[in-house]
Amino acid sequence: MHVKIPRVPLVATLVAVAAAAALLAAPAPVRAPATAGIVRATATGQTETGRAPQTPTAPGQTTPPTAPPPTPTASSGQEPTAAPSGTVPGATPVGTRPPVVDHGPRTGNKVALTFDADMTDAMRYQLRSGAVRSYANLKIIDLLERERVPATFFLTGKWVEQYPDVTRRLAANPRFELANHTYGHLAFTPDCYGLPRIAEREMTADVARTFDVVAAYGGRQTRYFRFPGLCHDRKALTALAPLGVTVVDGDVVSGDPFAKSWRPVVRASLDGVRPGSVIVLHVTEANAPMTDEALPHILAGLAERGLEPAPLSEVLGVG
């Protein structure tokens, strides 16, 4: 895999804008990072939802809170801060600062579709108040299943707790890998697009807890981890040293959060995609409302380019 030197966040994405917007009652100005030179043109500060308010009573979405807990299929006797041994994809030596990966080797024809499943307290409030119908885009999962497309899902612990049935469905698919996107999508750096910040002393436990939440569902578990907003610094990376993980940023940012049309998402996903690319998308529906419409076009565009989606571990060359 291609490892780069840990750095301050370089990629400004609407991921963070979306998260920030969800946390703020009113649209807020988007802060440009110091390295705004590489900010994608799509990061223009959209802070509004892309679609009209949805009906809270629409069927087939939120799992009732009374749903039974998942059947644990992974070892539960593990120390929470210990990486699984053996060949778990993304596992790195415990006690060392994790590598940060953007993409795999530029050979072959494999690319990784990665879908982040954000969930903040503000988003949960939106659900409970009925302002938002769903942050789980089942159309994406339907399409991936129907077309037998491999994908990797970066799950927040709170999203898993909100959607246990959907998580069970993801874990049951042999083409899907599961990865970690923190417990509640808090910022791990001082300046991450207005996201509320996690205390430094809580970082390790937050990520460890998320691995535990996800592990209960079995399936293709990994030690891949993605920071909210892709924001990380030396302290954040050091906090992950006890966990034996690989940090995955991605080299193709789709800009799907709060997109108002599927076309820019498709364009951003296909511009610059190459063998080994890791494409960052979202499965958060209300916060990424065009992703399901963009996905068929993205898949067609990849096929035209001779590129084939594969699980992240295969794209990074460790599968």
Positions touching Zn ion (CB under 5 A) are: 15, 116, 118, 228
Spatial distance between the Cα atoms of 21 and 65, rounded to a whole number of angstroms? 26
Give least dist CB 118 to Zn ion, A.
4
256 token code pair = 């799907």
- Report the residue number whose CB is nearest to Zn ion: 118
- Residue closer to Zn ion (CB basis): 176 or 193: 193
Give least dist CB 14 to Zn ion, A.
10
Give least dist CB 15 to Zn ion, A.
5
- Residue closer to Zn ion (CB basis): 194 or 275: 194
Spatial distance between the Cα atoms of 239 and 170, rounded to a whole number of angstroms? 28
- Residue closer to Zn ion (CB basis): 116 or 292: 116
Spatial distance between the Cα atoms of 145 and 135, rounded to a whole number of angstroms? 19
Give least dist CB 57 to Zn ion, A.
27
Q: How many CB atoms lie within 10 A of CB 318?
A: 16
Are the C-beta atoms of residues 229 and 22 closer than 8 Å to each other? no
Spatial distance between the Cα atoms of 71 and 252, rounded to a whole number of angstroms? 35
Give least dist CB 304 to Zn ion, A.
29
Nearest to 117 by CA among 88, 152, 69: 152
Please tell me whether residue 225 adopts helix, strand or coil conformation.
strand
